[in-house]
Amino acid sequence: MADAIEAINVLNFALDGIQQRQQVIANNITNENTPDYQAKVVTFETSLADAVANGGTAVATVTPEGLPSGTNGNNVSLPAELALETQTNLENQSVANSLSSEFATLSTAVSG
């Protein structure tokens, strides 16, 4: 049962990181034409893997995307953001399905 709870906690953190990434992508897309806007990216996978392997706390980090800027100082690449959005939506669906499966397993264990 402790393993199921740990798995649920890991998946819950992953969902939080994915949701934060979705918000940052939406913000990047919204600011596609804003002069001097620098696209951002959310990373959490490495921190989560380290926390699972070594114990400790995982963190999601928002950093500049690092793409070159255009003539107006903006570096949002709409095709890149849309591709990242699609990938992130698939990750969200996968993690949500895994979380549902863990809850079903836990429910079965509790109800006997």
| Local confidence band at 39 (pLDDT 50, 70, 90 cut-offs) | very high
| Local confidence band at 1 (pLDDT 50, 70, 90 cut-offs) | low
pLDDT for 20 equals 94
More confident residue, 111 or 30: 30
Q: What angle do CA 112, 1, 102 make, to 5 degrees?
A: 85
**Structure-block tokens of residue 3:** 């393993």
Instruction: Determine how many CB atoms are found less than 10 A away from the CB of residue 39.
Output: 23
Kindly tell me if the per-residue pLDDT of 55 is higher than 90. no
**Structure-block tokens of residue 53:** 């392997």
Kindly tell me if the per-residue pLDDT of 99 is higher than 80. yes
Write down the domain spans for the chain: 2-111
With pLDDT > 90 as the criterion, what percentage of the chain qualifies? 60
Q: Could you read off the pLDDT of 2-16 as tens digits, one per residue?
A: 687 888 889 989 999
